[in-house]
């Protein structure tokens, strides 16, 4: 897999004394403190601690290889933009650092490429420097999100962006010179609060100011730090746009229609934020960006994406596929670095079967309660634990199905995500088939043997299987009453509450049909029954036009099969219960099998079943 980090920074080991060179104070300079350590100073003011990865290609490459990164696209740091200075000084400064970037790349064994910087306060000079840099080997340019009072919809900046599109330069927008700094003197708030707002302002200015309408679609532009607060507040922006003419700006379309005009990086440091970003922007629009090697950067570059629950296809896109498009590297035959292996280098503690799978830890938590230990209690524990492991995998896959269907809804012309959803659902049905079968192992336990240790289990009960309930909630079967069984475990309770609030697989499936125009938006006055009928008829219309909707029919079939298998699971569980304890009460206080029989009518996707009745009308 190709792994490309499009947002990281460098500083040269040294550079000329800029204050002396231009005869003005407060330019950035580097103060080497200890071996491999330095402070960036701005005039007399301490700005940031940095270390040798900033200037030493050996250190940088070692850490890249450790993290499995094939290519870094380095850029200088906004503190060097100098947009507020005379343009000739900013141009000279840009040249110094642009040439220094290329020198560093030349020592990068093909694993380093760069973005330049330009004196954006002077559009002509900026265009000329960009062209010079592209000829010299830069892939594009890093710009600030504003030039003084001018936002990115400023006509001069739009002209520059036009030039970038014409020249095929990738543009990375970095927040800088944050507003309201006098109110944020402490706690890094300009970085944690100001920067996200600046970035959002940059995107919103481009949308509402009509910049995207004027610029060609060929412009490749990316906003750092996940686009700041933009994705999270898009709903608010859209709402204002829809209901208040004054909030319209001069753009031709609602804000959410411009999401395919720009990229964002993945520097959000939280899996839920990343999932949300991908759900909002689409998996084609988010790219690995680490802010390496600065203090607020990702410590192990790529680890957030790699460890996330995104689909394999989405991870491939985020880790490198999208960056190749953004950087225009697709046809570049000489980008051989992209074919090098990207697995993180093994460290000195070599991985073994046992350490990778955590076998010792896995074999530890089988702790029978019976004393002396009853022989069959180990089986009872292991069978339950195995179910829980498979429930974990089911949640993992179904979460990915939700993401894929959401992405399919966002782009109804794309078939990849629908295919991927069906593929993962097939895995879910195969797992559930195994789960149905697995009860037979437990049935080798005599009822008398179970009764020998059953008394030790109370009040523990299957009612308290958090993951089983999560699966129900995730699929759309939400019963708030079941939360009561999780009061003893607040974390599980909180997780289930979250699942209760989140759109379910069933919701997301019908949202996608709505986005495709197969399901009409329901009127405000429609009854629940009318809404249900409309959803069932939407499914019916998919089946009636098999030629156009093969992929969606496949999803429907997989969902139906999954539903069917879960009912089989419920039935087999009841048979096991009756075989073991007859019609006695359960340890969780229910009436036992007679209660469980009531659950047999539960369906995750009732509309899919209703559609079958309608088909035979």
Q: What is the C-alpha to C-alpha distance for residues 299 and 578, in angstroms, rounded to an integer?
A: 54
> C-beta of 442: minimal distance to ligand HEM in Å?
6
Sign of the Cα torsion 363, 369, 373, 377 reads: negative
**By C-beta, is 174 or 486 nearer to ligand HEM?**
486
Q: What are phi and psi of 510, to 5 degrees?
A: -75, -30
Nearest to 200 by CA among 235, 157, 246, 239: 235
Smallest gap, in angstroms, from Cβ of residue 498 to ligand HEM?
A: 19
Choose between 408 and 577: whose C-beta lies nearer to ligand HEM: 577
How many residues are given for the chain?
A: 617
Taking Cα atoms as reference points, which of 550, 562, 321 lies closest to residue 428? 562
> Of 369 and 465, which has the nearer Cβ to ligand HEM?
465
> Distances in Å between the alpha carbon of 514 and those of 292, 407, 448, 494, 547?
41, 13, 55, 31, 19
Q: Which residue bears the tokens 């079943």?
A: 609
By the 8 A CB rule, do 161 and 211 touch? yes
Q: Which is nearer to ligand HEM, 30 or 567 (CB)?
A: 567
Nearest distance, CB of residue 605 and ligand HEM, angstroms:
17
Residue 566 CB, shortest distance to ligand HEM, in Å, is 10
- Count CA within 13 A, CB hemisphere, residue 341: 5
Residue keyed to tokens 């399919």? 408
* Complex with ligand HEM: residue 54 or 398, whichever CB lies closer: 398
Q: Strand 28-32 to strand 112-116: parallel, antiparallel, or no bridges (unpaired)?
A: unpaired
Residue with tokens 């069959």, as numbered in its chain:
376
**Cα dihedral 39, 43, 46, 49 in deg (nearest 10):** -20
Question: Six-digit token pair at 68?
Answer: 């499995």
Smallest gap from Cβ 454 to ligand HEM, in A, equals 8
For residue 565, give the nearest of 407, 425, 424 by alpha carbon: 425
Dist. CA 1–CA 533, nearest whole Å:
45
Q: What's the closest the beta carbon of residue 476 comes to ligand HEM, in angstroms?
A: 15
φ and ψ of 182, to 5 deg: -65, -20
Alpha-carbon span 92 to 255, nearest angstrom: 38
Helix (H) / strand (E) element for 561: namely helix 546-581
**Cβ 38 vs Cβ 46: under 8 Å:** no
- Across the chain, how many H-helices and E-strands are there? 26, 11
Are 255 and 234 in contact by the 8 Å Cβ rule? The answer is yes
**Distance, CA of 353 to CA of 358 (rounded, Å):** 8
Least separation in angstroms between residue 315's CB and ligand HEM is 30
The least distance separating ligand HEM from the CB of residue 383, rounded to whole angstroms, comes to: 5
| Shortest Å, Cβ 550 to ligand HEM | 34
Question: Residue 519 is encoded by which pair of tokens?
Answer: 């399901």
Give whichever of 377 and 416 is closer to ligand HEM, judged by the CB atom.
377
The smaller minimum CB distance to ligand HEM, of residues 103 and 437, is found at: 437
Would you say 263 or 562 has its CB closer to ligand HEM? 562
- Residue 327 Cβ vs ligand HEM, minimum distance, rounded to whole Å: 48
Using CB under 6 A, list all residues that contact ligand HEM.
383-384, 387, 442, 450, 461-463, 465, 468, 573, 576-577, 580-581, 586-590, 592, 595-596, 599
Compare residues 162 and 602 and give the one whose CB is closer to ligand HEM.
Answer: 602
CB of 434 to ligand HEM, least distance (A): 12
In terms of CB distance, is 72 or 587 closer to ligand HEM?
587
- Nearer Cβ to ligand HEM, position 25 or 582? 582
DSSP for 349-385, written as a single string: S---HHHHHTHHHHTS------SSPPTTHHHHHHHHH
- Distance between CA atoms of residues 239 and 235, nearest Å: 6
Least distance (Å) from ligand HEM to the CB of residue 458? Answer: 9
Nearest CB to ligand HEM, comparing residues 230 and 391: 391
Closer to ligand HEM by CB, 258 or 569: give it: 569
Q: Which residue number, 469 or 558, has a Cβ lying nearer to ligand HEM?
A: 469
Answer whether 199's CB lies under 8 Å from 224's CB. Answer: yes
Smallest gap from Cβ 602 to ligand HEM, in A, equals: 8
Please spell the DSSP secondary structure of 460-501, one letter per residue.
--GGG-HHHHHHHHHHT---GGGGGGGTT-HHHHHHHHHHHH
**Closest distance to ligand HEM from the beta carbon of 591 (Å):** 8
């Amino acid at each position: 897999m190709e792994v490309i980090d499009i947002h990281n920074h460098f500083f040269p080991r040294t550079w000329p004394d800029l204050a002396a060179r231009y005869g003005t104070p407060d330019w950035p300079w580097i103060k080497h403190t200890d071996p491999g350590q330095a402070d960036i100073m701005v005039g007399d003011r301490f700005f940031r601690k940095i270390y040798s990865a900033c200037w030493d290609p050996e250190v940088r490459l070692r850490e890249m290889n450790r993290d499995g990164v094939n290519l870094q696209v380095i850029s200088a740091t906004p503190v060097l933009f100098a947009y507020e200075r005379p343009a000739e000084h900013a141009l000279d400064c840009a040249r110094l650092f642009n040439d220094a970037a290329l020198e560093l790349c030349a020592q990068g064994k093909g694993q380093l490429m760069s973005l330049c910087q330009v004196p954006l306060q002077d559009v002509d000079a900026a265009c000329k420097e960009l062209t010079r840099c592209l000829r010299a080997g830069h892939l594009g340019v890093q710009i600030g999100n504003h030039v003084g009072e001018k936002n990115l919809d400023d006509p001069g900046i739009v002209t520059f962006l036009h030039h970038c599109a014409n020249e095929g330069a990738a543009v990375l927008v970095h927040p800088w010179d944050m507003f309201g700094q006098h109110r944020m003197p402490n706690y890094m708030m300009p970085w944690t609060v100001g920067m996200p707002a600046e970035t959002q302002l940059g995107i919103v200015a481009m949308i509402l100011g009509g910049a995207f309408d004027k610029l060609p679609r060929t412009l490749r532009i990316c906003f750092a730090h996940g686009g700041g607060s933009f994705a999270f507040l898009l709903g608010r922006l859209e709402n204002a746009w829809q209901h208040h003419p004054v909030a319209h700006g001069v753009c031709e379309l609602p804000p959410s229609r411009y999401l395919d005009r720009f990229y964002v990086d993945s520097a959000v440091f939280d899996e839920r934020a990343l999932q949300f970003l991908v759900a909002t922007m689409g998996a084609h629009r988010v790219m690995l960006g680490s802010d390496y090697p600065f203090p607020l950067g990702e410590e192990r570059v790529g680890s957030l994406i790699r460890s996330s629950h995104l689909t394999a296809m989405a991870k491939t896109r985020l880790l490198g596929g999208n960056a190749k498009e953004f950087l225009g590297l697709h046809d570049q035959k000489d980008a051989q670095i992209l074919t090098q292996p990207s697995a993180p280098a093994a460290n000195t503690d070599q991985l073994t079967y046992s350490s990778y799978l955590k076998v010792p830890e896995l074999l530890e938590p089988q702790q029978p309660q019976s004393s002396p230990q009853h022989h069959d209690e180990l089986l009872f524990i292991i069978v339950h634990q195995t179910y829980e492991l498979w429930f974990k995998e089911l949640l993992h896959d179904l979460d990915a199905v939700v993401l894929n269907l959401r992405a399919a809804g966002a782009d109804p012309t794309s078939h990849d995500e629908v295919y991927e959803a069906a593929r993962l659902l097939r895995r879910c049905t195969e797992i559930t088939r195994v789960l149905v079968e697995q009860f037979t192992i437990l049935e080798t336990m005599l009822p008398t043997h179970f009764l020998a240790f059953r008394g030790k289990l109370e009040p523990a009960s299957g009612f308290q299987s958090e993951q089983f309930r999560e699966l129900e909630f995730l699929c759309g079967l939400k019963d708030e009453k079941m939360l009561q069984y999780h009061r003893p475990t607040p974390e599980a309770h909180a997780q289930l509450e979250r699942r209760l609030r989140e759109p379910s697989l069933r919701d997301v499936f019908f949202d996608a049909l709505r986005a495709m125009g197969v399901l009409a938006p329901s009127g405000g006055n429609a009854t629940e029954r009318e809404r249900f009928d409309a959803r069932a008829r939407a499914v019916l219309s998919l089946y009636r036009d098999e030629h156009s909707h093969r992929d969606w029919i496949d999803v429907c079939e997989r969902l139906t099969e999954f539903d069917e298998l879960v009912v089989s699971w419920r039935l087999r569980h009841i048979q096991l219960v009756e075989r073991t304890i007859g019609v006695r009460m359960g340890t969780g206080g229910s009436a036992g099998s007679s209660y469980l029989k009531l659950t047999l009518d539960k369906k995750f996707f009732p509309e899919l079943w209703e559609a079958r009745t309608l088909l035979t009308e």
